[in-house]
Structure 1
């Protein structure tokens, strides 16, 4: 069976797992949390480079076949879905490769106000006070300030994804890129999902936004962050007060470039 591949990427804590859980209600689709394909792709791409002493025997066409073969092999016969959404934050850095390997494939980048992303991670850390998290390499020290700084730097969980998003947004392969905001997905899921279906060229499906389910408890527990991929049954916006100090929250509150049409030179669709 010739599958259609699409990709979910973007910022952490911005609805990618929720989006995957909703899409998975469609029996033609398979979608899940971030998986191993992004890392495997990067590793194979590196091993096929000139650091391999036998790279003289490897052509670009062979590289493309081998990289595409990763997806065909991983999503083998046990996956019955006709349409697969693979999730990884690194896909925003691979827009050109994905376009060549999957010309009809689309990249859906989930976005959210960065202050609330930092807040969401800090809230998880405090909730799991007796379980050091893999997000911070299981370190037990630090403060909310050092944690925010670590998340936001270029190698951090949020900083890397944010820079990758901007690379995709301002790159030259934006015709297959859609930005989906967490705020829209949670407050108006019907409109958000309709936009996704329109973008990928699929017929509408009657999703049940009051009965969404997704389980990754074992993974989250192993990562020392129970609740990291928890999806509430009913999709709805939930207001609350930030747990961040005001100065930390203000530091990131203007990092929402996708909301300003003047900063969208390629006309990337933002929902």
Structure 2
């Protein structure tokens, strides 16, 4: 099958699962939650590097074929979709490799005010107070302060994705990147999805934003975080007060660089 690949990446808790659930309504598309290919991609790159004594027998052309083969073989004939969206936060850090392997591929990075991302994770942790989460390596201790610091550091769930996003945004391959704001996706899904279709060059499809369906209950339960990938049936803005202490919330309030045109030298599309 002559299949086209695109990529969903960006910040956690910023609408990537919702975006996938909407796109999956199109029978020509396949999209879902974060999968294993990002990790497999990194592992294979490492195994084909100089740390393996047999790497002298591996050319760059072979590396490219093997890496591309991960996608071709993982998304086998049983998927049946003409267009595949693979989701992983790592893709923002792999813009150059993805452009080489998939010249027509686009990366859609979901973004959201970082304070509300930290808030969203904290709300889940409190909601599942008797189930330690994989987000924090199933450790039951800690406070809202240590959890927010752990999320935001360079190796944390949010910090890593944020740094990868900046790398993609300011890198030389940003012409293949679009940022989709969570606020736009939830308040005006029609405009958001229309922008996605325009960006990837696909004909429009009539989506039903009042009847979204997505289930990952088994995965979320195993991760000790029920609700992690829950998607409500109707796309809508749901306002509520933050559960974070004021000083924690304010710590991240200046991290929304994508809203300042002066900080967008490559004119990356922000929707």
- Give the TM-score, by structure 2 length: 1.00
Per-residue deviation, 1:101: 0.1
Per-residue deviation, 1:91: 0.2
SS in structure 2 at match of 1:54: helix
The reply on whether 1:173 has 2:173 as its aligned counterpart is: yes
Matched with 2:4 is: 4
The reply on whether 1:260 has 2:260 as its aligned counterpart is: yes
The reply on whether 1:248 has 2:233 as its aligned counterpart is: no
Alignment of 1:123-134 (within 5 A): 123-134=123-134
Per-residue deviation, 1:25: 0.1
Using the alignment, how far apart are the partners of 1:254 and 1:243 within structure 2? Answer: 19
Alignment of 1:63-102 (within 5 A): 63-102=63-102
Runs of 4+ that moved beyond 2 A: none
Q: What is the CA deviation profile of residues 193-218 of structure 1, one whole-angstrom value per residue up to 9, with x for unaligned ones?
A: 00000000000000000000100000
SS in structure 2 at match of 1:175: helix
Using the alignment, how far apart are the partners of 1:45 and 1:84 within structure 2? Answer: 22
Q: What is the CA deviation profile of residues 228-255 of structure 1, one whole-angstrom value per residue up to 9, with x for unaligned ones?
A: 0000000011110000000000000110
Using the alignment, how far apart are the partners of 1:25 and 1:131 within structure 2? Answer: 32
Matched with 1:235 is: 235
Using the alignment, how far apart are the partners of 1:58 and 1:111 within structure 2? Answer: 38
Q: What is the CA deviation profile of residues 93-128 of structure 1, one whole-angstrom value per residue up to 9, with x for unaligned ones?
A: 000000000000000000000000000000000000
Structure 1 gaps of 5+ residues are none
Matched with 2:113 is: 113
Per-residue deviation, 1:2: 1.3
Per-residue deviation, 1:52: 1.1
> May I ask how many residue pairs the two structures share in their alignment?
271
Using the alignment, how far apart are the partners of 2:246 and 2:227 within structure 1? Answer: 25
Using the alignment, how far apart are the partners of 1:176 and 1:154 within structure 2? Answer: 24
Matched with 2:103 is: 103
The reply on whether 1:122 has 2:122 as its aligned counterpart is: yes
- Give the TM-score, by structure 1 length: 1.00
User: What is the root-mean-square deviation of aligned Cα atoms in Å?
Assistant: 0.4
Using the alignment, how far apart are the partners of 2:187 and 2:61 within structure 1? Answer: 45
The reply on whether 1:157 has 2:163 as its aligned counterpart is: no
